[in-house]
Amino acid sequence: MMVELDSIADRVERLPALPSTSVRIMEVAMDPKATINDILDVVKYDQNLTGQILRLCNSAYYGLVRQISSLKEALAYLGSTPLLQLIMGVHFNSILQSAQPGYGLLAGMLWRHSAATGLASEKIGRLFDHEKPEVLFTAGLLHDIGKVILGNFLSDRYQEVMDRLNQESLRFHEAEKAVLGFTHAEVGELISRRWRLPEPIVMTTRYHHEPRSEGEADAETRTVVQVVHLADSLAMTLGMGVGNDGLLYSIDPEIAREYKVDHKTLERVGMDVVSEVQKLEVIYVGSRGQQ
């Protein structure tokens, strides 16, 4: 028996609305004319967010020689991309930390995979001088957000999904579709639209497993989707937050060739990603206890 669309939609509607600050930050970040100062103008009115950012800026992870006491100082010492990554990470940390037993993911594993994919997306983007690497990071961070909802339904149908995987050699999202009637990617699109996220991020949640199926998307959106697909595959290969859906996971070879991403490149990027995720994990897990 497949899951009814109304059941999925009801769960999505019951999700807390994304804070207006988050939506505005992403809107500004997607604007090619915007600067990091425009983003800080949004953040500075959110005292809780500002406090969390400054606390993390002063953590051992960044190793700054002096205490940071303002967002402008944080910008001067960290630079625009790391600061925006920090802002996005703070916003979505608690959502992504939850366990997803339907996917075989313990608490923190979805965050680990999401962070690895975000960092890998940004680093791959830098290989071809993408103008907005911070957008790639955010899209990578949120690509699996649909698991937060679908995982609740999947846990009751786990054995059926595994049987499909073993008997029919399906990819995990194909087995999801066969058993539940939906994939986490489709549910991710529903969540992204509920949260009014920018279109490239919406399309990434929907098409990161099918990176050449994004229809009439513009060139920039296609780039974001395809880069996140590469980064997602790399994160899986690295074993970063891999659950049941890591089975039979494959990278699109044509996209890898298009972006000139070979095994040596992925190995180099992967080493950086593993190191950074391990450090970030310490400060984000610690920050949850201080909120």
pLDDT value at residue 248: 60
Give 181-245 as a DSSP string: S--HHHHHHHHHHHTT--HHHHHHHHHTTSTT--TT--HHHHHHHHHHHHHHHHHHHTTTT--GG
Backbone angles phi, psi at 100, to 5 degrees: -130, 80
pLDDT value at residue 24: 84
| Model confidence at 289: pLDDT above 50 | no
pLDDT value at residue 208: 95
Say which amino acid occupies 101. P
The CA distance from 57 to 62, in Å, is: 6
Percent of the chain with pLDDT over 70: 93
Backbone angles phi, psi at 10, to 5 degrees: -65, -45
Mean pLDDT of 192-214: 90
pLDDT value at residue 291: 46
Hey, CA dihedral for 245, 155, 193, 42, is it positive or negative? negative
pLDDT value at residue 156: 82
Lowest mean pLDDT among 21-25, 184-188, 231-235, 240-244: 21-25
Mean pLDDT of 38-51: 86
CB 188 within 8 A of CB 173: no
The CA distance from 17 to 22, in Å, is: 10
Taking the chain, what is the end-to-end CA distance rounded to the nearest angstrom?
41
CB 211 within 8 A of CB 34: no
| Model confidence at 4: pLDDT above 70 | no
Which residues on adjacent β-strands are paired with residue 105? 100
pLDDT value at residue 5: 64
Mean pLDDT of 21-25: 81
Average pLDDT, the chain: 85
| Model confidence at 50: pLDDT above 50 | yes
Pair of tokens at residue 11: 């769960």
Q: Which residue has the higher pLDDT, 3 or 34?
A: 34
- Tens of pLDDT, residues 131-188: 888 889 999 999 999 999 888 778 888 888 888 888 887 888 888 888 888 899 999 9
Confidence of residue 102 (pLDDT cuts 50, 70, 90): confident
Which has the closest alpha carbon to 5: 182, 161, 158, 175?
A: 182
